[in-house]
Structure 1
Amino acid sequence: MIYCCEEHVELALDETVDEHELAPKLEKVVENSDFICGYCGQQAVYIVGNE
């Protein structure tokens, strides 16, 4: 699962498709959560994954 900000959501989607060869699930993170973007360290907006 990849936590990502609005700016990096496309990168996370592409990376997940390349890795799993399946369409990933895209979910919004609950506001004011402690999750951070795995690419830049900003507040995460989305969770991308296949689980």
Structure 2
Amino acid sequence: MRLDHQPLAVPGYDHVVTRFEFAQPLTDPEPPGDIRHLVQRYRVVTAQPV
């Protein structure tokens, strides 16, 4: 969640806000079965410069 509420540089746009939405831990079902993943989703809101 390190991106939550952090300013981002988006070329050609003004950054408005970055918000964390959710995270889901997953374990790889294939052998060896001990590989873990963390899927995270963020919403980045931008605006065209005026």
The answer, yes or no, to whether TM exceeds 0.5 is no
Pick the structure with more strand per residue. 2
Pick the structure with more helix per residue. 1
Calculate the TM-score normalised by the size of structure 2: 0.30
| Structure of higher CA gyration radius | 2
Calculate the TM-score normalised by the size of structure 1: 0.30
Higher relative CO (CA 8 A, sep ≥ 6), structure 1 or 2? 1
